[in-house]
Structure 1
């Protein structure tokens, strides 16, 4: 099996919805249980066999460099691809491919949005990617409602309870992709790949899903930061002192 050893983290977002956390910091540096999101991502990638990571940065990228350095303490080698102007996620991804250690590696490249914390098996995802001969495989997480729902007697409308944040029978983009290196030229120089490249690959039957059952949370709001921090402590995956932000 061609197991991925290279990854790209899209960490250029400013994330205005997450103020005050992002007033002076990129979204990837938002702390979850005192450790930046990107710290969790780098540790997870190293545990999944990734050796080389390109961080695609823009807004306040110097903070990521100061925190992550060359990646040695996380168990990976880090390279930085810094945009001189906002390119959009698809453009930033394509730009970052020029900084990969081996652009011709036959193994797929793992790509992460810089605002997720997860713990599923990337190796299992890679195996399914290979079996399907996919151009791109998208990790999907089952959708969990942000709202509590009333449990109703459909006949009488009597409420007999409430379910807080139930899991619903839908699957959402988890912001983790495995991408065949031959697919990168199809990505836009500027703009979002989810509006262009992915729909075209879907039409061609080359876009596949991997439904994950491990931990995943997208960090999109201040509430997400708080909940993810609580989950990190409760489920025992909070990282230690050596990964916390130092001045």
Structure 2
């Protein structure tokens, strides 16, 4: 039985404007925002995680205030080789992903991708093995986030029986981390949104897989100032245990 080969290359999508994170993103792109108390921007944590999972080469797709991110990369000791690309014009999420993937050093091999605002830790190699076992063209990590509001439970007569603070969602969502086959890049649109075109097509063909994040794995999308505050609290709690 042959030893599975895990991806060693990745694309990070870091071009968003992060308007909901203002004023933090007034002078830097969203992936350059620091989780309070860590001294490192989100993208720094992502690069460390990817390197720890065996990735040796990353392509970062830049956009909003790209020069700020590029300057930080140039002045920082990085755990892997990094190439940056800037779209010549807005290509949409799918087009941007395809444009960045063209710079991967090993186009004939599988690759990871992640959104630049995702703060997470879980075994990427397990996800890659899951992807290979299903012979998928693309595999999405799936998270079950907590609902930001309290919930109530009622009985059949309409009496409230319990209050539940921030319960887990009953639905799985796209966690913004992916494993793609080597051929996937050719399936992406030159411009436009792959989540409205490529992904639905692959789903119909049973070539799109979903990998639920392992029990206890940390995951958070950093979209708002509240997310930054919550991430800092959660990180502090982890360090205290």
Common fold: TM-score over 0.5: yes
1:101 aligns with 2:102: no
Asked if structure 2 preserves the Cα contact closer than 8 Å seen for 1:6 and 1:50, the reply is yes
Asked if structure 1 preserves the Cα contact closer than 8 Å seen for 2:141 and 2:177, the reply is yes
Match of 2:63 among 58, 67, 75: 58
Match of 2:25 among 4, 22, 25: 22
Match of 1:215 among 214, 218, 226: 218
Match of 2:85 among 81, 88, 97: 81
Which residue of 2 is the match for residue 189 of structure 1? 190
1:42 is paired with a residue of what secondary structure? helix
Deviations 1:140-175 (A, max 9, x none): 001310111124444352454x32211122100000
Structure 2: unaligned runs, 5 residues or longer: none
Residue 110 of structure 1, CA deviation: 0.3
1:139 is paired with a residue of what secondary structure? strand
Match of 2:52 among 12, 30, 47: 47
Asked if structure 2 preserves the Cα contact closer than 8 Å seen for 1:54 and 1:78, the reply is yes
Q: Superposition pairs for residues 167-178 of structure 1, below 5 Å?
A: 167-178=168-179
2:12 is paired with a residue of what secondary structure? strand
Which residue of 1 is the match for residue 130 of structure 2? 128
Distance across 2 between alignment mates of 1:231 and 1:154: 37
Distance across 1 between alignment mates of 2:82 and 2:28: 19
Q: In the comparison of the two structures, how many residue pairs are matched?
A: 233
1:124 is paired with a residue of what secondary structure? helix
Asked if structure 2 preserves the Cα contact closer than 8 Å seen for 1:8 and 1:55, the reply is yes
Structural RMSD (CA): 1.7
Structure 1: unaligned runs, 5 residues or longer: 238-247
1:69 is paired with a residue of what secondary structure? helix
1:226 aligns with 2:203: no
Distance across 1 between alignment mates of 2:218 and 2:59: 23
Q: Residues 49 and 187 of structure 1: is their aligned pair in 2 closer, same or farther, counting only changes over 3 Å?
A: same
Distance across 1 between alignment mates of 2:152 and 2:134: 40
Distance across 1 between alignment mates of 2:25 and 2:91: 19
Residue 65 of structure 1, CA deviation: 1.3
Query: Runs of at least 4 residues of structure 1 off by over 2 A?
Result: 68-71, 150-156
Between 196-205 and 22-31, the greater mean CA deviation after superposition: 22-31
Q: Residues 156 and 204 of structure 1: is their aligned pair in 2 closer, same or farther, counting only changes over 3 Å?
A: closer
Distance across 2 between alignment mates of 1:224 and 1:125: 25
